[in-house]
Protein backbone atom coordinates (compact mmCIF):
# COMPACT_ATOMS: atom_id res chain seq x y z
CA UNK A 1 0.00 0.00 0.00
CA UNK A 2 1.37 3.44 -0.78
CA UNK A 3 1.40 6.41 1.54
CA UNK A 4 -2.00 7.50 0.33
CA UNK A 5 -3.81 4.20 0.92
CA UNK A 6 -5.62 5.30 4.06
CA UNK A 7 -7.45 8.05 2.23
CA UNK A 8 -10.13 5.52 1.34
CA UNK A 9 -11.80 5.62 4.78
CA UNK A 10 -12.31 9.38 4.59
CA UNK A 11 -13.51 9.03 1.05
CA UNK A 12 -16.01 6.36 2.04
CA UNK A 13 -17.61 8.66 4.66
CA UNK A 14 -17.77 11.43 2.10
CA UNK A 15 -19.29 9.14 -0.52
CA UNK A 16 -22.13 8.24 1.81
CA UNK A 17 -22.92 11.93 2.31
CA UNK A 18 -22.59 12.53 -1.41
CA UNK A 19 -24.95 9.68 -2.23
CA UNK A 20 -27.59 10.99 0.16
CA UNK A 21 -27.37 14.46 -1.35
CA UNK A 22 -27.51 13.10 -4.87
CA UNK A 23 -30.67 11.12 -4.19
CA UNK A 24 -32.34 14.20 -2.79
CA UNK A 25 -31.27 16.80 -5.29
CA UNK A 26 -31.25 17.58 -8.97
CA UNK A 27 -28.00 17.47 -10.92
CA UNK A 28 -27.66 21.28 -10.77
CA UNK A 29 -28.25 22.32 -7.21
CA UNK A 30 -26.94 24.37 -4.38
CA UNK A 31 -24.00 22.22 -3.30
CA UNK A 32 -21.46 23.90 -5.58
CA UNK A 33 -22.20 27.26 -3.99
CA UNK A 34 -22.10 25.79 -0.52
CA UNK A 35 -18.73 24.20 -1.27
CA UNK A 36 -17.37 27.42 -2.78
CA UNK A 37 -18.50 29.48 0.21
CA UNK A 38 -16.99 26.95 2.59
CA UNK A 39 -13.61 27.07 0.84
CA UNK A 40 -13.65 30.89 0.58
CA UNK A 41 -14.44 31.16 4.28
CA UNK A 42 -11.86 28.57 5.26
CA UNK A 43 -9.02 30.38 3.49
CA UNK A 44 -10.22 33.94 4.00
CA UNK A 45 -10.77 34.85 0.34
CA UNK A 46 -13.66 36.86 -1.09
CA UNK A 47 -14.51 34.50 -3.93
CA UNK A 48 -14.07 30.81 -4.77
CA UNK A 49 -14.77 29.05 -8.06
CA UNK A 50 -15.05 25.25 -8.07
CA UNK A 51 -13.67 23.53 -11.16
CA UNK A 52 -13.11 19.97 -12.35
CA UNK A 53 -9.44 19.83 -11.28
CA UNK A 54 -6.57 22.03 -10.16
CA UNK A 55 -5.09 21.60 -13.62
CA UNK A 56 -8.27 23.11 -15.09
CA UNK A 57 -8.08 25.80 -12.40
CA UNK A 58 -4.50 26.78 -13.34
CA UNK A 59 -5.49 26.84 -17.01
CA UNK A 60 -8.47 29.13 -16.36
CA UNK A 61 -6.52 31.32 -13.93
CA UNK A 62 -3.93 32.02 -16.63
CA UNK A 63 -6.60 32.63 -19.28
CA UNK A 64 -8.42 35.01 -16.96
CA UNK A 65 -5.32 37.24 -16.88
CA UNK A 66 -5.58 37.81 -20.66
CA UNK A 67 -1.82 37.89 -21.17
CA UNK A 68 -0.15 38.50 -24.53
CA UNK A 69 0.55 35.21 -26.35
CA UNK A 70 4.03 33.82 -25.60
CA UNK A 71 4.40 35.84 -22.41
CA UNK A 72 6.58 34.01 -19.91
CA UNK A 73 5.22 32.34 -16.79
CA UNK A 74 7.85 31.73 -14.13
CA UNK A 75 7.35 28.63 -12.01
CA UNK A 76 9.13 25.88 -10.10
CA UNK A 77 10.79 22.90 -11.79
CA UNK A 78 9.98 20.82 -8.70
CA UNK A 79 6.24 20.41 -9.04
CA UNK A 80 3.63 18.26 -10.64
CA UNK A 81 3.46 18.78 -14.41
CA UNK A 82 0.26 20.86 -14.25
CA UNK A 83 2.04 23.95 -12.91
CA UNK A 84 3.84 24.54 -16.20
CA UNK A 85 1.57 22.58 -18.57
CA UNK A 86 -1.16 25.10 -17.78
CA UNK A 87 1.04 27.83 -19.27
CA UNK A 88 1.44 25.78 -22.45
CA UNK A 89 -2.35 25.24 -22.69
CA UNK A 90 -2.80 29.00 -22.47
CA UNK A 91 -0.30 29.73 -25.25
CA UNK A 92 2.28 31.02 -22.77
CA UNK A 93 5.90 30.08 -22.13
CA UNK A 94 6.95 28.43 -18.86
CA UNK A 95 10.23 29.65 -17.40
CA UNK A 96 11.74 27.52 -14.66
CA UNK A 97 13.43 29.17 -11.71
CA UNK A 98 15.64 27.10 -9.44
CA UNK A 99 14.45 26.04 -6.00
CA UNK A 100 15.73 27.03 -2.59
CA UNK A 101 17.00 23.72 -1.14
CA UNK A 102 15.74 24.64 2.34
CA UNK A 103 12.14 25.41 1.40
CA UNK A 104 11.87 23.38 -1.86
CA UNK A 105 9.97 26.35 -3.28
CA UNK A 106 11.26 28.66 -6.02
CA UNK A 107 14.17 30.69 -4.73
CA UNK A 108 12.89 34.13 -3.76
CA UNK A 109 16.23 35.78 -4.63
CA UNK A 110 16.39 34.16 -8.05
CA UNK A 111 12.77 34.99 -8.78
CA UNK A 112 13.26 38.64 -7.79
CA UNK A 113 16.29 38.75 -10.05
CA UNK A 114 14.41 37.17 -12.98
CA UNK A 115 11.51 39.59 -12.61
CA UNK A 116 13.79 42.60 -12.47
CA UNK A 117 15.89 41.53 -15.46
CA UNK A 118 13.08 40.40 -17.75
CA UNK A 119 10.19 42.23 -19.33
CA UNK A 120 8.70 39.08 -20.79
CA UNK A 121 7.70 37.45 -17.48
CA UNK A 122 4.04 38.35 -17.01
CA UNK A 123 2.92 35.81 -14.44
CA UNK A 124 4.39 33.83 -11.60
CA UNK A 125 3.16 30.43 -10.42
CA UNK A 126 4.83 29.69 -7.09
CA UNK A 127 4.18 26.16 -5.83
CA UNK A 128 3.73 25.51 -2.11
CA UNK A 129 5.77 22.34 -2.21
CA UNK A 130 4.66 19.58 0.16
CA UNK A 131 2.28 22.06 1.79
CA UNK A 132 4.95 24.48 2.96
CA UNK A 133 4.08 27.95 1.72
CA UNK A 134 6.30 29.95 -0.58
CA UNK A 135 6.65 33.33 1.17
CA UNK A 136 5.08 35.88 -1.15
CA UNK A 137 5.16 39.28 0.52
CA UNK A 138 8.43 40.48 -0.98
CA UNK A 139 7.76 38.77 -4.31
CA UNK A 140 4.37 40.35 -4.61
CA UNK A 141 5.78 43.86 -4.16
CA UNK A 142 8.31 43.31 -6.93
CA UNK A 143 5.70 41.63 -9.12
CA UNK A 144 3.19 44.44 -8.67
CA UNK A 145 5.77 47.04 -9.54
CA UNK A 146 6.41 45.29 -12.86
CA UNK A 147 2.82 44.29 -13.64
CA UNK A 148 3.47 40.59 -13.06
CA UNK A 149 0.48 38.56 -11.85
CA UNK A 150 0.78 35.83 -9.21
CA UNK A 151 -1.17 32.57 -9.25
CA UNK A 152 -0.39 30.29 -6.33
CA UNK A 153 -0.32 26.56 -7.03
CA UNK A 154 -1.63 25.48 -3.64
CA UNK A 155 -2.50 21.92 -4.67
CA UNK A 156 -0.51 20.75 -1.62
CA UNK A 157 -1.40 23.55 0.72
CA UNK A 158 -5.10 23.66 1.58
CA UNK A 159 -5.26 24.36 5.31
CA UNK A 160 -1.65 25.58 5.41
CA UNK A 161 -0.40 29.00 6.50
CA UNK A 162 2.34 31.45 5.62
CA UNK A 163 4.95 32.21 8.25
CA UNK A 164 2.93 35.33 9.21
CA UNK A 165 0.06 33.05 10.26
CA UNK A 166 -2.31 33.96 7.42
CA UNK A 167 -4.04 31.12 5.61
CA UNK A 168 -2.82 30.05 2.18
CA UNK A 169 -5.49 31.04 -0.34
CA UNK A 170 -6.49 34.40 1.14
CA UNK A 171 -4.73 35.98 -1.87
CA UNK A 172 -3.29 38.80 0.25
CA UNK A 173 -0.17 38.60 -1.94
CA UNK A 174 -1.51 37.06 -5.12
CA UNK A 175 -4.22 37.41 -7.73
CA UNK A 176 -5.51 33.85 -7.50
CA UNK A 177 -4.81 30.64 -5.62
CA UNK A 178 -5.57 27.18 -6.97
CA UNK A 179 -6.33 24.16 -4.79
CA UNK A 180 -6.68 20.50 -5.78
CA UNK A 181 -9.19 17.98 -4.45
CA UNK A 182 -7.64 15.03 -6.28
CA UNK A 183 -7.75 11.75 -4.27
CA UNK A 184 -4.08 11.97 -3.20
CA UNK A 185 -4.54 15.43 -1.67
CA UNK A 186 -5.37 16.00 2.01
CA UNK A 187 -9.09 16.34 1.32
CA UNK A 188 -10.77 15.22 -1.85
CA UNK A 189 -13.87 15.47 -3.99
CA UNK A 190 -12.85 12.43 -6.04
CA UNK A 191 -11.52 14.87 -8.62
CA UNK A 192 -11.79 18.61 -8.36
CA UNK A 193 -10.21 22.01 -7.87
CA UNK A 194 -11.00 25.45 -6.50
CA UNK A 195 -9.67 28.86 -7.47
CA UNK A 196 -9.84 31.61 -4.86
CA UNK A 197 -9.49 35.34 -5.54
CA UNK A 198 -10.39 38.72 -4.06
CA UNK A 199 -10.89 40.35 -7.45
CA UNK A 200 -14.45 40.54 -8.72
CA UNK A 201 -13.37 40.93 -12.36
CA UNK A 202 -11.40 37.69 -12.21
CA UNK A 203 -14.20 35.92 -10.33
CA UNK A 204 -16.75 36.79 -13.04
CA UNK A 205 -14.38 35.83 -15.82
CA UNK A 206 -13.59 32.48 -14.16
CA UNK A 207 -17.31 31.70 -13.81
CA UNK A 208 -17.78 32.25 -17.54
CA UNK A 209 -14.64 30.39 -18.57
CA UNK A 210 -15.54 27.25 -16.61
CA UNK A 211 -18.90 27.06 -18.37
CA UNK A 212 -18.39 27.51 -22.14
CA UNK A 213 -17.88 31.27 -21.91
CA UNK A 214 -21.59 31.84 -21.28
CA UNK A 215 -22.66 34.98 -19.38
CA UNK A 216 -23.13 34.45 -15.64
CA UNK A 217 -24.64 36.36 -12.73
CA UNK A 218 -25.61 39.83 -13.95
CA UNK A 219 -22.95 40.07 -16.67
CA UNK A 220 -23.95 42.85 -19.09
CA UNK A 221 -25.43 41.46 -22.29
CA UNK A 222 -23.72 42.09 -25.61
CA UNK A 223 -27.10 42.15 -27.39
CA UNK A 224 -29.77 43.70 -25.15
CA UNK A 225 -32.31 43.82 -27.97
CA UNK A 226 -32.44 40.04 -28.34
CA UNK A 227 -32.10 39.61 -24.59
CA UNK A 228 -35.20 41.54 -23.50
CA UNK A 229 -38.95 41.53 -24.07
CA UNK A 230 -40.84 44.59 -22.82
CA UNK A 231 -37.90 45.57 -20.67
CA UNK A 232 -37.62 42.16 -18.98
CA UNK A 233 -34.74 39.75 -19.55
CA UNK A 234 -35.85 36.73 -21.59
CA UNK A 235 -35.80 33.66 -19.35
CA UNK A 236 -34.18 31.46 -22.01
CA UNK A 237 -31.65 33.97 -23.20
CA UNK A 238 -27.92 33.42 -22.80
CA UNK A 239 -24.84 34.61 -24.60
CA UNK A 240 -21.54 32.90 -25.27
CA UNK A 241 -19.30 35.90 -24.84
CA UNK A 242 -15.90 34.24 -25.09
CA UNK A 243 -14.44 30.78 -25.69
CA UNK A 244 -14.84 28.84 -22.47
CA UNK A 245 -14.67 25.23 -21.40
CA UNK A 246 -16.67 22.63 -19.57
CA UNK A 247 -14.61 22.62 -16.38
CA UNK A 248 -17.45 22.43 -13.87
CA UNK A 249 -17.51 20.32 -10.74
CA UNK A 250 -20.62 18.19 -10.19
CA UNK A 251 -23.05 18.50 -7.29
CA UNK A 252 -22.07 15.12 -5.89
CA UNK A 253 -18.40 16.11 -5.90
CA UNK A 254 -19.24 19.40 -4.18
CA UNK A 255 -21.16 17.46 -1.52
CA UNK A 256 -18.07 15.33 -0.88
CA UNK A 257 -16.04 18.51 -0.62
CA UNK A 258 -18.34 20.10 1.95
CA UNK A 259 -18.13 17.06 4.22
CA UNK A 260 -14.38 16.60 3.72
CA UNK A 261 -13.55 20.23 4.47
CA UNK A 262 -14.97 19.84 7.95
CA UNK A 263 -12.22 17.32 8.67
CA UNK A 264 -9.37 19.33 7.22
CA UNK A 265 -8.00 20.81 10.44
CA UNK A 266 -8.12 17.48 12.22
CA UNK A 267 -6.27 15.78 9.34
CA UNK A 268 -3.61 18.47 9.29
CA UNK A 269 -2.96 18.40 13.01
CA UNK A 270 -2.51 14.64 12.82
CA UNK A 271 -0.20 14.99 9.85
CA UNK A 272 1.80 17.66 11.70
CA UNK A 273 2.36 15.38 14.70
CA UNK A 274 3.49 12.58 12.42
CA UNK A 275 5.86 14.88 10.54
CA UNK A 276 7.37 16.17 13.79
CA UNK A 277 7.83 12.64 15.02
CA UNK A 278 9.68 11.72 11.80
CA UNK A 279 11.91 14.77 12.34
CA UNK A 280 12.85 13.38 15.74
CA UNK A 281 13.32 9.81 14.54
CA UNK A 282 15.57 10.77 11.63
CA UNK A 283 17.44 13.56 13.41
CA UNK A 284 20.61 11.58 14.03
CA UNK A 285 20.43 9.19 11.11
CA UNK A 286 23.73 9.56 9.19
CA UNK A 287 23.32 10.66 5.57
CA UNK A 288 19.56 11.13 5.94
CA UNK A 289 18.16 14.64 6.36
CA UNK A 290 14.67 15.83 7.26
CA UNK A 291 13.84 19.03 5.32
CA UNK A 292 11.34 21.90 5.56
CA UNK A 293 11.55 21.52 9.34
CA UNK A 294 11.30 25.32 9.70
CA UNK A 295 7.68 25.13 8.50
CA UNK A 296 6.28 22.37 10.67
CA UNK A 297 3.88 24.64 12.56
CA UNK A 298 2.41 26.22 9.44
CA UNK A 299 2.70 23.61 6.66
CA UNK A 300 -0.31 21.67 5.39
CA UNK A 301 1.92 18.56 5.41
CA UNK A 302 0.81 17.09 2.11
CA UNK A 303 3.85 14.82 2.02
CA UNK A 304 6.95 14.12 4.12
CA UNK A 305 10.25 14.25 2.25
CA UNK A 306 13.70 13.12 3.34
CA UNK A 307 16.93 13.88 1.58
CA UNK A 308 19.28 10.93 1.41
CA UNK A 309 22.86 11.07 0.25
CA UNK A 310 22.70 7.97 -1.96
CA UNK A 311 26.22 8.60 -3.24
CA UNK A 312 27.48 7.63 0.23
CA UNK A 313 25.19 4.63 0.57
CA UNK A 314 25.69 1.11 -0.74
CA UNK A 315 22.09 0.92 -1.93
CA UNK A 316 20.46 2.78 -4.82
CA UNK A 317 17.19 4.65 -4.45
CA UNK A 318 15.50 2.15 -6.72
CA UNK A 319 16.70 -0.77 -4.62
CA UNK A 320 15.72 0.98 -1.38
CA UNK A 321 12.23 1.72 -2.70
CA UNK A 322 11.83 -1.87 -3.95
CA UNK A 323 12.88 -3.39 -0.61
CA UNK A 324 10.70 -1.00 1.35
CA UNK A 325 7.76 -1.88 -0.86
CA UNK A 326 8.33 -5.58 -0.12
CA UNK A 327 8.16 -4.63 3.56
CA UNK A 328 4.79 -2.94 2.96
CA UNK A 329 6.17 0.62 2.99
CA UNK A 330 5.23 2.78 0.02
CA UNK A 331 7.65 5.54 -0.97
CA UNK A 332 7.73 7.97 -3.87
CA UNK A 333 9.83 10.65 -5.57
CA UNK A 334 8.27 14.12 -5.72
CA UNK A 335 9.20 15.25 -8.35
CA UNK A 336 11.25 14.66 -11.44
CA UNK A 337 12.19 18.24 -12.46
CA UNK A 338 9.68 19.20 -15.14
CA UNK A 339 12.20 20.50 -17.72
CA UNK A 340 13.91 17.07 -17.74
CA UNK A 341 10.77 15.53 -19.25
CA UNK A 342 11.14 14.53 -22.92
CA UNK A 343 8.34 16.88 -24.00
CA UNK A 344 10.06 19.86 -22.38
CA UNK A 345 13.44 18.73 -23.69
CA UNK A 346 11.98 18.77 -27.19
CA UNK A 347 10.82 22.33 -26.56
CA UNK A 348 14.46 23.22 -25.95
CA UNK A 349 14.58 23.48 -22.15
CA UNK A 350 17.99 22.90 -20.59
CA UNK A 351 18.95 22.18 -17.02
CA UNK A 352 21.88 24.54 -16.64
CA UNK A 353 19.90 27.01 -14.52
CA UNK A 354 18.38 24.52 -12.07
CA UNK A 355 21.31 22.82 -10.27
CA UNK A 356 19.53 22.82 -6.89
CA UNK A 357 16.47 21.15 -8.39
CA UNK A 358 18.64 18.45 -9.98
CA UNK A 359 20.56 17.88 -6.76
CA UNK A 360 17.31 17.67 -4.84
CA UNK A 361 15.87 15.21 -7.36
CA UNK A 362 18.90 12.92 -6.94
CA UNK A 363 18.48 12.78 -3.19
CA UNK A 364 14.79 13.00 -2.30
CA UNK A 365 12.47 10.33 -1.02
CA UNK A 366 8.86 10.72 0.14
CA UNK A 367 7.95 8.39 2.99
CA UNK A 368 4.43 7.50 4.19
CA UNK A 369 2.38 10.32 5.72
CA UNK A 370 -1.34 10.04 6.27
CA UNK A 371 -3.53 10.82 9.26
CA UNK A 372 -3.88 7.22 10.40
CA UNK A 373 -0.24 6.23 10.55
CA UNK A 374 0.82 5.11 14.04
CA UNK A 375 4.00 5.87 15.98
CA UNK A 376 4.70 2.18 15.89
CA UNK A 377 4.55 2.12 12.09
CA UNK A 378 6.83 5.16 12.02
CA UNK A 379 9.36 3.34 14.18
CA UNK A 380 9.13 0.33 11.89
CA UNK A 381 9.83 2.55 8.89
CA UNK A 382 12.88 3.93 10.69
CA UNK A 383 14.06 0.39 11.55
CA UNK A 384 13.68 -0.89 7.99
CA UNK A 385 15.48 2.14 6.61
CA UNK A 386 18.27 1.79 9.19
CA UNK A 387 18.87 -1.77 8.06
CA UNK A 388 18.76 -1.00 4.36
CA UNK A 389 20.83 2.18 4.54
CA UNK A 390 23.40 0.91 7.03
C1 LIG B 1 -1.95 17.42 -7.83
C2 LIG B 1 -1.29 18.65 -8.29
C3 LIG B 1 -1.80 19.44 -9.32
C4 LIG B 1 -2.97 19.00 -10.17
O5 LIG B 1 -4.10 18.73 -9.45
P6 LIG B 1 -5.36 18.06 -10.19
O7 LIG B 1 -6.50 18.41 -9.32
O8 LIG B 1 -5.06 16.59 -10.23
O9 LIG B 1 -5.43 18.63 -11.55
C10 LIG B 1 -1.18 20.64 -9.62
N11 LIG B 1 -0.08 21.04 -8.95
C12 LIG B 1 0.47 20.30 -7.98
C13 LIG B 1 1.66 20.83 -7.24
C14 LIG B 1 -0.10 19.07 -7.62
O15 LIG B 1 0.46 18.32 -6.67
* Phi/psi of residue 340, nearest 5 degrees: -80, -10
pTM over 0.75? The answer is yes
Tell me the CA distances in angstroms from 375 to 2, 220, 255, 281, 361, one per residue in order.
17, 58, 33, 10, 28
Q: Is 54 in the pocket of ligand 1 (CB under 6 A)?
A: yes
Cis peptide, bond prior to residue 373, ω within 30 of zero: no
Which residue in 385, 268, 386 sits closest to 331, CA to CA?
385
Atom of ligand 1 nearest to the CA of 57: 9
Q: Please, are residues 105 and 136 in contact by the beta-carbon 8 Å criterion?
A: no
pLDDT at residue 25, rounded to an integer: 47
What pLDDT, on a 0 to 100 scale, did the predictor assign at position 186? 84
pLDDT at 112: 98
Cα separation, 258 vs 54, whole angstroms: 17
Domain ranges of the chain: 3-261, 264-389
Residues 39, 57: Cα–Cα separation, whole Å: 14
Q: Which of these CATH numbers, 3.90.1150.10, 3.40.50.360, 3.40.50.300, 3.40.50.150, describes 264-389?
A: 3.90.1150.10
**Residue 55 Cα, ligand 1 centroid: separation in angstroms?**
6
Cβ neighbours around 317 below 10 Å, total: 16
pLDDT score for 167: 98
Is 129 close to ligand 1, i.e. is its CB under 6 Å away?
no
Are 87 and 153 in contact by the 8 Å Cβ rule? The answer is: no
- E strand or H helix at 200, and its extent? helix 200-209
Cβ burial of 52 (10 Å; 0-12, 13-18, 19+) is buried
The answer, yes or no, to whether any atom of ligand 1 lies below 6 A from the CB of 215, is no
Q: CA angle, corner 49, sides to 44 and 51, nearest 5?
A: 130
CA of 318 to the centre of ligand 1 (A): 25
Ligand 1 nearest atom to the CA of residue 83, by list position: 11
C-alpha angle 141-42-57 in degrees, rounded to nearest 5: 65
* Ligand 1 atom, smallest distance to 180 CA: 7
Query: Measured between alpha carbons, how far is residue 20 from residues 16, 44, 131, 222, 274 in Å?
Result: 6, 29, 32, 41, 33
Residues 6+ apart with CB under 8 A from 352: none
Helices and strands per DSSP (H, E), number in the chain:
14, 12
C-beta 193 within 6 A of ligand 1: yes
What are the mean pLDDT values of the chain's consecutive 10-residue runs (390 residues total)? Answer: 46 61 54 97 98 98 98 98 98 98 98 97 98 97 97 98 97 98 90 98 97 93 90 91 96 94 96 98 94 97 97 95 98 98 98 97 97 96 94
Question: In the prediction, which pLDDT does 6 show?
Answer: 46
pLDDT of residue 27: 40
Is the distance from CB of 287 to CB of 312 less than 8 angstroms? yes
Record: fold of 3-261: 3.40.640
Write out 14-80 in H/E/C secondary structure.
HHHHHHHHHHHCCCCCCHHHHHHHHHHHHHCCCEEEEECCHHHHHHHHHHHCCCCCCCEEEECCCCC
Cα 76 to averaged position of ligand 1 atoms, centre (Å)? 13
Amino acid sequence: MNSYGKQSTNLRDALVVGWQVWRKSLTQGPKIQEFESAVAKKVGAKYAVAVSSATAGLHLALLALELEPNSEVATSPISFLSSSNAALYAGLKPRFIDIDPETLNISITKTLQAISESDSIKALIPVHMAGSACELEELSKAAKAKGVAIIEDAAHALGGHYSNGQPVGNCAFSDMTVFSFHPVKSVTTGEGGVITTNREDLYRKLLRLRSHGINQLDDPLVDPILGFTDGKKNLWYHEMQELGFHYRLSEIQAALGVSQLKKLDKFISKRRKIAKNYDLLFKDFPGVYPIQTHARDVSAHHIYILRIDFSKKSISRHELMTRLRSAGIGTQVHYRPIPTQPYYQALGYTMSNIPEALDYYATCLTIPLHPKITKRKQRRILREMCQLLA
